[in-house]
């Protein structure tokens, strides 16, 4: 076994690999970009070496530099994690040439599976079933369109070198083909440096079922059962589970054996995943692709098999045989993984960036596991994937595991940026999901239930916010008094509200577009609060409470309740049962001064690059006309006209960088 390895990755997967290495007594070398100088993976490793600036090209993708660091630090092997260099043949070869083990398959296997098109051709000859489509070399736009026309719509265009759903476009009709092809090619070129695509029949009710395979250097190959990753948004996995519900033993064996055939066909070594698409309507399954690395969702397999897949990777890479034979592998219980992302489900899951001002994870146990690379105070930056953590749960059966998931999600608290936590909670509680209605259209079909429109804030939440504000004001006023007798702060005068026996105070909060007022009257040991409820009725509630360490414990109209409360910048976030309510306290007397310019300007939802400008000054546009395409976090975002009008000015050209909130163009009605 190795004494020391280099982990050529960041975030949760780097932490995950380091944890197993430590368990096995192996020393670790981390690498980091400037954005990650204080990251969790850097702190966990025995040594850490700087790579360069944040951009992956200048840091985590610097193969030569990483190899050089491995040599210098005496690492005997490199674990590439997923993404970055994990499926880079040249890097795998360079490691081997330098006498350093690459913890992954031989470069020939990466090459064979690296192109979705070439892999399909290979699998066809190995007798693995394929989705009907064109995966050849001819990339002529008219030719590809003719192929699609012949197949019948809808069709799917995929980047041949693709991954993570990037460069993938569904085309509904012949007239859309050309523009979708151009967009897919642009995304593919930007993300993978290769714009080759394939076109295949789009299945309308598929499940994504993938098989974990493992092979040792002696050629022994096993499958560690399947994962169902059907719950996806934008073709990216959000929730995975193992085993796949409803899969009978015969089919499980059949798919597992097909996956082993696929792995053997390319001389596979190490951990790999063979992805299949399962047609719910016909029960047929087809090979999609093989990922020649450890997958993000590997923990669900670990939970149901009781194995440590990183340990297996290390053993195999050091030349040991697979620890278990096929007949010794068993499924025990059921596991889910939810990917907690910094994103806004209500805005088509737009990635969010910002600071994790408050972060509290559910307690870990034999049932609950959290794999993460971040800590409170860390930034989710635009440079890397916006995943905050993976929440993994296990129990004896699917129903119980689902209960665990729903519960653990309510215990997960994040303040500072939008997350998909509420969305995941709705998903975990959705009766159709419990009833195993699984296919990749699930989120689209149940969108309204999963992404509820912002509901009116309830009276208790407003009362809690008022108590939190009053406690804060009192604390500030005390501090102020201690510091000086200078009483010029308009918000908390130094004579203090308590002492001022006029004994009432008006509090104003903004939540989204609505404003709420709470009138607080001081009472012995608490307050009487006047709050107008959602139906417009004025309610009077007796309320009292204490805050300590982010928790408020309160009694409101005789109801004892508690919540987490986090103050950040000029806002207040309350978290009750895993649900965030963010309020902005304001002073109505000053509000007029803050009225922002709400003109016809269109702003960038996040920092990015302008990849296309579709309009010019003077153009007349309809509501919904695509105006500009912005690329951010490797995804394209089309900026649409919010209303009909005339383009007054375009502020950016193709290729230019934009800041978040930057005005992009102006449209006059
Ligand atoms: P990537 O490598 O970018 O993740 P995949 O080829 O693995 O792309 O496909 C991602 C997802 O897209 C699949 O899990 C599935 O939901 C969907 N998908 C892929 N191929 C098809 C198809 N032919 N029909 C319908 N959905 C598909």
- Distance in angstroms (rounded) separating the CA atoms of residues 95 and 171: 41
The full set of domain ranges for the chain reads 4-103, 132-201, 208-450, 459-591, 601-668
Least confident of 22-26, 388-392, 420-424, 482-486: 482-486
pLDDT classification of 585: cutoffs 50, 70, 90: confident
CB of 232 within 6 A of ligand 1: the answer is: yes
| pLDDT tops 50 at residue 596 | no
Q: Please say if the pLDDT value at position 613 is more than 80.
A: yes
Neighbouring residues of 144: CB distance < 8 A, sequence distance ≥ 6: 134, 138, 157, 177, 181, 197, 199
pLDDT score of 481: 59
Q: Mean of the pLDDT values across residues 547-555?
A: 92
Which protein residue has the closest C-alpha to ligand 1 atom 23?
202
Q: Where are the alpha helices (DSSP H) in 514-653?
A: 588-594
The CA R_g of the chain, rounded to the nearest whole Å, is 28
pLDDT of residue 342: 96
Range in 5-19, 21-35, 286-300, 651-665 the model is least confident about: 651-665
Question: Of all protein residues, whose CA lies closest to atom 1 belonging to ligand 1?
Answer: 163
Measured in angstroms, how far is the CA atom of residue 13 from the centroid of ligand 1?
23
CA of 453 to the centre of ligand 1 (A): 29
Instruction: Give the per-residue pLDDT at 94.
Output: 97
Highest mean pLDDT among 52-61, 576-585, 632-641: 52-61
Q: Which of 15-29, 278-292, 397-411 has the lowest mean pLDDT?
A: 278-292
The CB of 392 under 6 Å from ligand 1? The reply is no
Model pLDDT, residue 480: 56
pLDDT for the residue 477: 63
Q: What is the model's pLDDT at position 69?
A: 98
Over residues 512-533, the pLDDT tens digits come to: 888 898 988 888 889 999 998 8
Ligand 1 pocket check for 600: Cβ under 6 Å = no
Q: Which residue of 239, 287, 288 sits with most ligand 1 atoms within 8 Å of its CB, as the best mutation to test the pocket?
A: 288
Q: Which pLDDT value is given to residue 193?
A: 86
Residues 71-94 have a mean pLDDT of 97
Which comes out higher in pLDDT, residue 486 or 48?
A: 48
Which of 40, 207, 233, 293 is labelled catalytic?
Answer: 293
Residue recorded with tokens 């029949």: 201
| Fold of the CATH domain 459-591 | Glycoprotein, Type 4 Pilin (3.30.700)
Active site residue 293: yes
pLDDT at 38 over 60: yes
Rounded to the nearest whole angstrom, what is the distance from the C-alpha of residue 257 to the centroid of ligand 1?
21
Mean pLDDT of 410-427: 95
pLDDT given for residue 242 in this prediction? 98
Q: Please state the rounded mean pLDDT for residues 655-661.
A: 85
Over range 212-237, report the average pLDDT. 96
**pLDDT at residue 593, rounded to an integer:** 34
- Is residue 583 in contact with ligand 1, taking CB distance under 6 Å? no
Average pLDDT over residues 426-442: 96
Q: Looking at ligand 1, which atom is closest to the CA of residue 275?
A: 7
Q: How far apart are CA 372 and CA 364, in angstroms?
A: 12
Residues found in the chain = 669
- pLDDT, residue 328, reads 98
Checking if the pLDDT of 498 tops 60, the result is no
**Residues 4-103, CATH architecture:** 3-Layer(aba) Sandwich (3.40)
Higher pLDDT, 297 or 503: 297
Asked if residue 277 has its Cβ within 6 Å of ligand 1, the reply is yes
List, for residues 304-357, the tens digit of each pLDDT value: 999 999 999 999 999 999 999 999 999 999 999 999 999 999 988 999 999 999
Per-residue pLDDT tens over the stretch 3-24:
999 999 999 999 999 999 999 9
Phi, psi at 652, each rounded to 5°: -130, 150
- Which is the closest atom of ligand 1 to the Cα of 201? 23
The ligand 1 atom at the shortest distance from the C-alpha of residue 166 is 3
Is pLDDT at 487 greater than 60 in this prediction? no
The overall average pLDDT reported for the chain is 90
Residue 353 CB coordination number (10 Å): 17
Q: Which pLDDT score is estimated for 503?
A: 63
Q: Which atom of ligand 1 is nearest to the CA of 167?
A: 3
Using the mean position of ligand 1's atoms as its centre, give its distance from the Cα of residue 128 in Å: 17
Residue 475's contacts (CB-CB under 8 Å, 6 or more residues apart) are none
Percent of the chain having pLDDT more than 70?
93
Confidence of residue 592 (pLDDT cuts 50, 70, 90): very low
Pocket lining: 164 vs ligand 1, CB cutoff 6 Å:
yes
For ligand 1, say whether the CB of 289 is within 6 Å of any of its atoms.
yes
User: What percent of the chain is modeled with pLDDT above 90?
Assistant: 71
Report the topology of domain 132-201: Dna Ligase; domain 1 (3.30.1490)
Q: Is the CB of 163 under 6 A from ligand 1?
A: yes
CB contact set of 221 (below 8 Å; sequence gap of 6+): 213, 214, 215, 260, 263, 264, 268
Closest atom of ligand 1 to 204 CA is 25
For ligand 1, the distance from its centroid to the CA atom of residue 289, given in whole angstroms, is 9
235 lines ligand 1 (CB under 6 A): yes
Tell me the residue ranges of DSSP E strands in 320-386: 334-341, 343-344, 350-351, 354-355, 358-360, 368-372, 379-380
pLDDT reading at 70 higher than 90: yes
CB count in 10 Å sphere of residue 325: 10
Q: Is the CB of 131 under 6 A from ligand 1?
A: yes
What secondary structure letter does DSSP report for 492? S
Distance between Cα 290 and ligand 1 center (Å): 12
State the closest ligand 1 atom to the C-alpha of 200, by its place in the atom list counted from 1. 23
Task: Quote the ligand 1 centre to 630 CA distance (angstroms).
Answer: 24
Would you place residue 92 in the very low, low, confident or very high pLDDT band (cuts 50, 70, 90)?
very high
Probe residue for ligand 1, chosen from 208, 211, 244, 439 as the CB with the greatest number of ligand atoms within 8 Å: 208
Instruction: Give me ligand 1 centre to Cα 292, in Å.
Output: 16
Cβ–ligand 1 distance for 413 under 6 Å, the answer: no
Tokens encoding 1:
């076994």
Averaged pLDDT for residues 92-111: 97
Counting ligand 1 atoms within 8 A of each CB, the residue from 440, 442, 445, 635 with the most, and so the one to mutate, is: 440
Residues 6+ apart with CB under 8 A from 249: none
| CATH number of 208-450, picked from 3.40.50.360, 3.30.420.40, 3.40.50.300, 3.30.470.20 | 3.30.470.20
pLDDT tens-digit map of 445-468: 999 999 988 778 899 999 999 999
pLDDT at residue 586, as a whole number: 81
CATH number, domain 601-668, options 3.40.190.10, 2.40.50.100, 3.30.70.260, 3.40.50.2300: 2.40.50.100
**Among 272-286, 488-502, 543-557, the least confident range:** 488-502
Q: Name the range with the highest mean pLDDT among 422-431, 462-471, 477-486, 575-584.
A: 422-431
Ligand 1 neighbour 441 (Cβ under 6 A): no
What pLDDT score does 125 carry?
A: 87
Residue 595 confidence (pLDDT): 34
202 CB near ligand 1 (under 6 Å): yes
CA 157 to CA 508: how far, in whole Å?
Answer: 51
**235 alpha carbon – ligand 1 mean position (Å):** 6
pLDDT value of residue 455:
76
102 lines ligand 1 (CB under 6 A): no
pLDDT at 182: 95
Q: Taking the CB of residue 354, how many other CB atoms lie within 10 A of it? A: 15
């Amino acid at each position: 076994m190795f004494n020391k390895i280099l982990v050529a990755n960041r975030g949760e997967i780097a932490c995950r690999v380091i944890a197993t290495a430590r368990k096995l007594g192996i020393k670790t070398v981390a690498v980091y970009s400037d954005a990650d100088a204080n990251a969790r993976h850097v702190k966990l490793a025995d040594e850490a070496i700087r790579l360069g600036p944040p951009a992956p090209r200048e840091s985590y993708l610097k193969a030569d530099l990483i190899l050089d660091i491995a040599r210098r630090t005496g690492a005997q092997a490199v674990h590439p994690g997923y993404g970055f260099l994990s499926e880079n043949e040249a890097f795998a070869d360079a490691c081997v040439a330098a006498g350093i083990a690459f913890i992954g398959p031989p470069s020939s296997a990466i090459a064979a599976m690296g192109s979705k098109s070439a892999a399909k051709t290979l699998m066809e000859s190995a007798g693995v079933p394929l989705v009907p489509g064109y995966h050849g070399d001819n990339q002529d736009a008219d030719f590809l369109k003719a192929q699609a026309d012949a197949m019948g719509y809808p069709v799917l265009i995929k980047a041949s070198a693709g991954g993570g759903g990037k460069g993938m476009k569904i085309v509904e009709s012949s007239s859309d083909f050309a523009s979708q092809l151009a967009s897919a090619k642009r995304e593919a070129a930007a993300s993978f440096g290769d714009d080759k695509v394939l076109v295949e029949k789009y299945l309308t009710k598929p499940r994504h079922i993938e098989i974990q395979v493992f092979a040792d250097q002696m050629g022994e190959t096993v499958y560690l059962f399947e994962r169902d990753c059907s719950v996806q948004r934008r073709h990216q996995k959000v929730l995975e589970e193992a085993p796949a519900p409803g899969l009978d033993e015969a089919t499980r064996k059949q798919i597992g054996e097909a996956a082993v055939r696929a792995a053997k066909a390319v001389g596979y070594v190490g951990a790999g995943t063979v992805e299949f698409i399962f047609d719910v309507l016909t029960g047929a399954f087809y090979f999609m692709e093989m990922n020649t690395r450890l997958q993000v969702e590997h923990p669900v397999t670990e939970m149901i098999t009781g194995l440590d897949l990183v340990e297996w990777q290390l053993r195999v890479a050091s030349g040991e045989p697979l620890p278990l034979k096929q007949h010794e592998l068993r499924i025990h219980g059921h596991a889910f993984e939810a990917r907690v992302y910094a994103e806004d489900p209500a805005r088509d899951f737009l990635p969010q960036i910002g600071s994790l001002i408050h972060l509290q994870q559910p307690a870990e146990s034999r049932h609950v596991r959290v794999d993460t690379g971040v800590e409170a105070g860390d930034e989710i930056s635009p440079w890397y994937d916006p995943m905050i953590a993976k929440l993994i749960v296990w129990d004896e059966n699917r129903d119980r595991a689902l209960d665990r998931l729903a519960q653990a999600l309510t215990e997960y608290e994040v303040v500072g940026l939008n997350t998909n936590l509420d969305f995941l909670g709705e998903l975990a509680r959705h009766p159709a999901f419990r009833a195993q209605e699984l296919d990749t259209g699930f989120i689209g079909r149940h969108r309204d239930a999963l992404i509820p429109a912002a509901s009116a804030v309830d009276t208790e939440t407003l009362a809690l916010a008022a108590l939190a504000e009053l406690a804060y004001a009192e604390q500030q006023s005390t501090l102020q008094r201690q510091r000086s007798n200078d009483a010029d702060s308009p918000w908390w005068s130094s004579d203090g509200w308590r002492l001022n026996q006029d004994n009432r105070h008006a509090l104003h909060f903004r939540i989204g577009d609505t404003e709420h007022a709470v009138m607080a009257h001081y009472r012995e040991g608490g307050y009487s609060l006047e709050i107008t409820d959602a139906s417009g009725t004025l309610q009077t509630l007796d309320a009292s409470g204490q805050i300590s360490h982010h928790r408020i414990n309160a009694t409101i109209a005789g109801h004892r309740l508690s919540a987490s409360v986090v103050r950040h910048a000029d806002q207040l976030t309350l978290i009750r049962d895993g649900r965030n309510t963010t309020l902005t306290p304001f002073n109505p007397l000053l509000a007029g001064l803050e009225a922002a310019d709400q003109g016809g300007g269109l702003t960038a939802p996040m920092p990015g690059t302008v990849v296309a400008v579709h309009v010019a000054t003077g153009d007349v546009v309809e509501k919904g006309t695509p105006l500009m395409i912005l690329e951010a976090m490797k995804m394209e975002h089309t900026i649409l006209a919010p209303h009909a009008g005339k383009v007054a000015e375009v502020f950016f050209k193709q290729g230019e960088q934009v800041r978040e909130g930057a005005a992009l163009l102006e449209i006059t009605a």
